[in-house]
């Protein structure tokens, strides 16, 4: 079905209908098959060398999925051994191979969905981009006293520190009290990436709408787009993450599979503005396709194209824009995306309509310093694969 456009009520254009994704050849997508083979080879080699236990890569352009590959293991290790600094492997018959349908703990990719829900409220006129957080959450005295705004939360310019140890608080009331009292440690307006921005935004959205975040994301994003594999945990069949124990982690929870990895999201019951969602490569490709199509996918519309443009225009609302450290050569022309601590990432390139989803369980069996080389190289491969349509 051809894509139809008309002027939206906020100006600009918005798609009335955008073709759904289909699996087809790289040539049909205007992508070079040789570069895409190298992309898959690079990911496979990285997994074999220990970058992650396993991975799924989905890449395409326009309505075409040209790459959908799974490598390695969804579950490989029983536990982490401190003395040898290695994972204790499961017997071969108990390991779980990675498949293209394996759900992953998205970690900070959750922030993108929280941001979309917030921008939906901007489009409806129920929330102002430069409105003060204190106007909606007067009891959050730290944010209110410093005049923090919705825009600052979405662009990580609130000055809030990266995180709070909510996982150490005795109960939910104590965790909420910490968040209510938290004040910026830097000058508002200065960039400082912080999970607290999306936790505050979650509180604001829930107060504004009277609905919990998981319902807002389900009704506003995943259900309209048909993303049936996307939602907050538990997800028993998900790729395993970490043998989570102190001192390398912040809680003693053992080997995790299908339960949120992030300690604060876990402490908050698994539903949080900064982490907690699980999804698959194909579902995230649908999410990318909808945004690249101006907010529409098939007959569904989750945002008008002018608001999608607002999200993806530097500095980005929720999205990071033109970051070569994980986008490689896709950066530089308005590419937008995000990474997740567990080993996940997405990149959208509005200039060419191409997208890249790279999911891995890089923290299995335990977390290590992030290695973004594989992500950046994959972005470069996709960039070099683009051919004139």
Asked which of 14-23, 126-135, 199-208, 321-330 is least confident by mean pLDDT, the reply is: 14-23
Structural domain contains residue 260: yes
Question: Is the pLDDT assigned to residue 10 strictly greater than 90?
Answer: no
Structural domain contains residue 54: yes
Tokens of 361: 């369980």
Give the model confidence (pLDDT) of 91-110 as tens digits.
999 999 999 999 999 999 99
Strands 54-61 and 64-75: antiparallel
102 plus 119 within the same structural domain: no
247 plus 334 within the same structural domain: yes
What does the pLDDT average to over 333-359?
98
What pLDDT was estimated at residue 75?
Answer: 98
Question: Is the pLDDT assigned to residue 175 strictly greater than 90?
Answer: yes
Long-range own/partner contacts, residues 37-44 (CB < 8 A, 24 or more apart) = 38/381, 39/67, 39/378, 39/381, 39/382, 39/385, 40/67, 40/69, 40/71, 42/374, 42/377, 42/378, 42/381, 43/69, 43/71, 43/358, 43/374, 43/378, 44/69, 44/71
97 plus 235 within the same structural domain: yes
78 plus 101 within the same structural domain: yes
What does the pLDDT average to over 2-14?
32
Number of domains in the chain: 2
3-state secondary structure of 21: coil
Question: Is the pLDDT assigned to residue 227 strictly greater than 90?
Answer: yes
Question: Is the pLDDT assigned to residue 8 strictly greater than 50?
Answer: no
32 plus 80 within the same structural domain: yes
Rounded distance between C-alpha atoms, residue 291 and residue 335, angstroms: 12
Model confidence at 136, in pLDDT bands (50, 70, 90)?
A: very high
What does the pLDDT average to over 158-180?
96
pTM: 0.94
**Average predicted confidence (pLDDT) for the chain:** 95
244 lies in which domain range?
4-109+228-385
294 plus 366 within the same structural domain: yes
What pLDDT was estimated at residue 389?
Answer: 80
Question: Is the pLDDT assigned to residue 20 strictly greater than 90?
Answer: yes
Structural domain contains residue 274: yes
């Amino acid at each position: 079905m051809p894509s139809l456009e008309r002027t939206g009520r906020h100006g600009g254009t918005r798609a009335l209908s955008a073709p759904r994704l289909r699996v087809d050849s790289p040539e049909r997508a205007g992508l070079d098959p040789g570069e895409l083979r190298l992309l898959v080879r690079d990911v496979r080699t990285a997994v074999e060398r220990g970058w992650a236990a396993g991975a799924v890569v989905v890449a395409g352009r326009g309505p075409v999925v040209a790459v959908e590959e799974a490598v390695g293991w969804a579950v490989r290790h029983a536990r982490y051994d401190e003395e040898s600094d290695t994972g204790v492997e499961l017997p071969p018959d108990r390991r779980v191979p990675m498949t293209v349908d394996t759900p992953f703990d998205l970690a900070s990719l959750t922030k993108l969905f929280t941001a979309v829900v917030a921008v939906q409220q901007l489009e409806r006129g129920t929330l102002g981009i430069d409105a003060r957080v204190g106007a909606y959450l007067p009891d959050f005295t730290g944010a209110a006293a410093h005049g923090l705004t919705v825009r600052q939360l979405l662009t990580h310019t609130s000055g809030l520190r990266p995180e709070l140890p909510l996982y150490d608080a005795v109960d939910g009331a104590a965790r909420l009290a910490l968040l209510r009292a938290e004040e910026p440690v830097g000058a508002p307006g200065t960039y400082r990436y912080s999970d607290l921005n999306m936790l505050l935004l979650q509180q604001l959205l829930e107060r504004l709408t009277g609905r919990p975040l998981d319902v807002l994301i389900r009704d506003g994003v995943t259900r309209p787009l048909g993303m049936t594999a996307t939602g907050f945990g538990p997800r028993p069949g998900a790729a395993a993450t970490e043998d989570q124990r102190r001192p390398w982690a912040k809680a003693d929870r053992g080997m995790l599979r299908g339960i949120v990895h992030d300690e604060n999201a876990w402490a908050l019951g698994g539903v949080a503005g900064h982490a907690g969602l699980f999804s698959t490569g194909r579902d995230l490709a649908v999410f990318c396709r909808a945004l690249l199509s101006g907010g529409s996918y098939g007959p569904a519309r989750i945002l008008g194209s002018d608001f999608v443009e607002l999200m993806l225009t530097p500095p980005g609302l929720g999205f990071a824009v033109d970051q070569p450290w994980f986008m490689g050569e896709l950066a530089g022309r308005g590419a937008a995306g995000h990474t997740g601590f567990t080993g996940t990432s997405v990149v959208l390139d509005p200039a060419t309509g191409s997208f890249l989803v790279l999911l891995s369980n890089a923290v299995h069996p335990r977390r290590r310093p992030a290695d973004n080389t594989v992500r950046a190289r994959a972005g470069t491969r996709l960039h070099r694969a683009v051919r004139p349509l």
